[in-house]
Amino acid sequence: MIFSALAVIAIILYIIIGLIFGIIVTIEGHWPNYSNKFKTVVGFIIFGPLFWVISAIIAILSKVASWLSKE
Buried b (16+ CB within 10 A) or exposed e, 17-50: ebeeebeebbeeeeeeeeeeeebeeebeeebeee
Write down the pLDDT at residue 60.
Answer: 79
- Binned average pLDDT, 10 residues per bin, the chain of 71 residues: 71 75 64 61 67 75 77 66
Write down the pLDDT at residue 68.
Answer: 77
Q: Which residues contact 26 (CB under 8 A, 6 or more apart)?
A: 36, 39, 40, 43
pTM: 0.38
Rounded Cα distance, 53 and 38, in Å: 23
Write down the pLDDT at residue 11.
Answer: 74
Domain boundaries, the chain: 2-70
Quote the crossing angle between the two packed helices 2-28 and 36-70, to the nearest 10°.
170
Instruction: Specify the DSSP class assigned to residue 35.
Output: -
Write down the pLDDT at residue 16.
Answer: 77
Write down the pLDDT at residue 56.
Answer: 76
